Amino acid sequence: MSFPLLTAAAALPALGAIATAAVPAGRRTAAKWLALLVSLGTLALAAVIAVRFEPGGERYQLTESHAWIADFGVRYELGVDGIAVALIALTAVLIPFIILAGWNDADPAPDAAPGLGGAAPGSGGTPAGAKHYRWRPTQGFFALILSVEAMVILSFEATDVFLFYILFEAMLIPMYFLIGGFGDRAHAGSDEHAAAQRSYAAVKFLLYNLVGGLIMLAAVIGLYVVAGNFSLTEIAAARADGTLEMAATIERLLFLGFFFAFAVKAPLWPLHTWLPNAMGESTAPVAVLITAVVDKVGTFAMLRFCLGLFPEASAWATPVILGLALVSIVYGALLAVGQRDIKRLIAYASISHFGFIVMGIFAMTTQGQSGSTLYMVNHGISTAALMLVAGFLISRRGSRLIADYGGVQKVAPVLAGTFLIGGLATLSLPGLAPFVSEFLVLVGTFTRYPVVGVIATLGIVLAALYTLVLYQRTMTGPVKEEVRTLPDLRLRELVVVTPLIALLIFLGVYPKPLTDIVNPAVEHTMSDVRQKDPRPEVEAAQ
């Protein structure tokens, strides 16, 4: 029996979460190092998966299949295609940086009452009497991050629809506690007001995603009634060879049930309103976990399940979905322009970027879908770089408001420089990784829907506006009195930011390692929906 590599990649962080949570209260540093080592071990397993995967081979590789709930046809069934491999790699790469960036974010405050936790980011000190704390916030914080990593990786691997649904819903639980229990301390208000805002953001996140999940559950049950099992591969094969036929109305209803849940998770306008609250009230590392890791499950599922299970319904819904994606692109960018809060600006920028991803998926072209997959990866890296540097800045000043900064580049040039690179990646500057993916999405959309492609370019113009205005107002100009003593990036922070910037440059100049893995999977998806790229209107010269 071959080694269950896919199971191991998810089991390691799951077991690591349990071990981290069990570390004694007085051993916070040990808990941090344990979580970091587990995340690095997971990264090593993800690298093995990428090496073992053969882009030109079978569609789903490294497969595992075991009976689970036999009476209902539920199996523990795993397999990865190129899209899943790329997103597993993204998750495994980001988690160690998230852990390092949040190294001190959950240390208990020196004046906290027994049983409570939380500290200003970057405090790092060991308070007297910490051993008496009944709740171990540091251990809990890192255990929750590892549990999210385990469920996200397994959701990318699951080819049983019911298994995927369980993971899709279960990851909400640790995310709820990360948002509500470990919120941002740089809040313009009293501690009670800050706690209320965190609770509101966590509950809103949970309710939106639970509603989407309940609608998806109805669709999952309906799929089982129609198909008789939950296996993605078996259902897709039966549909392809004609042994399974769905009435058009049934297929469309099932598609809408799945798509609604994925659009909430993505998030797509008008189901996006939970994201600015969740990112704004979270610590910067948790905000990265939300938008760079967890939200990618929604767009990934659109490719794997919506297009794979319901090809005709996907084509039927395409015009409306492209319209929603366009609104997300322009609406998110416009609101980002008007933001006064740094983290909420980045959140609205992400809504705009997710609009590009969804647009590329439903453009039904190989360039569009390849670009969307690359966009998921590149957006994750660029948003992580920008948000984490923003988090380092906010922890120094204690404010998220743009107006409270000015002239930072004169007192902290390295921080300002890395912030600029992250911002330029966000606006898709040529030479940085997001440019390649955004270009492919626009080209792929324009070849089939030229009007949609032209309107979407407005998002690029607005991205340049909100990014450069943000940099100008925070980093340039006269040095404000409150920022004169801000320290530059420390060694730990440089270890977090430098590899992310290196990845942005490398994948911007040489994206071939990703495209080689992704393109064959995209061809399979195009085959599922029975679509071919439009032929050029002008024939090549003979």
How do residues 49-71 score in pLDDT, each as one tens digit? 999 999 888 888 888 888 888 77
Q: Which amino acid appears at position 295 of this protein? A: D
- pLDDT for the residue numbered 125: 36
Distance separating alpha carbons of residues 115 and 220, to the nearest angstrom: 41
pLDDT surpassing 80 at residue 124? no
In percent, the amount of the chain with pLDDT more than 90 equals: 48
pLDDT at 75: 87
45 touches 12 (CB < 8 A): yes
Band (130; pLDDT cuts 50, 70, 90): very low
pLDDT bucket at 191, cuts 50 / 70 / 90: low
Range of 52-56, 176-180, 272-276, 356-360 with top mean pLDDT: 356-360
The whole-number pLDDT of residue 540 equals 54
| Least confident span in 98-102, 135-139, 390-394 | 135-139
Instruction: Look at residue 280 in the predicted model and tell me its pLDDT.
Output: 85
Q: CB of 152 within 8 A of CB of 164?
A: no
How far is residue 29's CA from residue 303's CA, in Å, rounded to a whole number? 41
pLDDT band at 348 (very low <50, low <70, confident <90, very high): very high
Query: What's the average model confidence in pLDDT over 210-223?
Result: 91
- Answer yes or no: is pLDDT of 133 > 50: no
Question: What's the pLDDT tens digit per position in 467-520?
Answer: 999 999 988 888 888 878 888 889 999 999 999 999 999 999 999 999 999 999
Which pLDDT band holds residue 1 (cuts at 50, 70, 90)? Answer: very low
Per-residue pLDDT, 226: 86
pLDDT at 112: 45
Mean pLDDT of 400-414: 87
What tens digit of pLDDT does each residue of 12-40 get?
A: 999 999 999 988 887 888 889 999 999 99
For residue 532, the model assigns a pLDDT of: 76
Pick the range with the lowest mean pLDDT from 105-109, 211-215, 479-483: 105-109
- CA 57 remoteness from chain centre: 27
Three-state helix/strand/coil letters over 202-250? HHHHHHHHHHHHHHHHHHHHHHHHHHCCCEHHHHHHHHHHCCCCCCHHH
pLDDT class of 541 with cuts at 50, 70, 90: low
| For residue 190, pLDDT beyond 60 | no
CA distance 490 to 492: 6
How confident is the prediction for the chain on average, in pLDDT?
A: 86
Question: How far is residue 228's CA from residue 75's CA, in Å, rounded to a whole number?
Answer: 13
Question: What is the reported pLDDT for 233?
Answer: 84
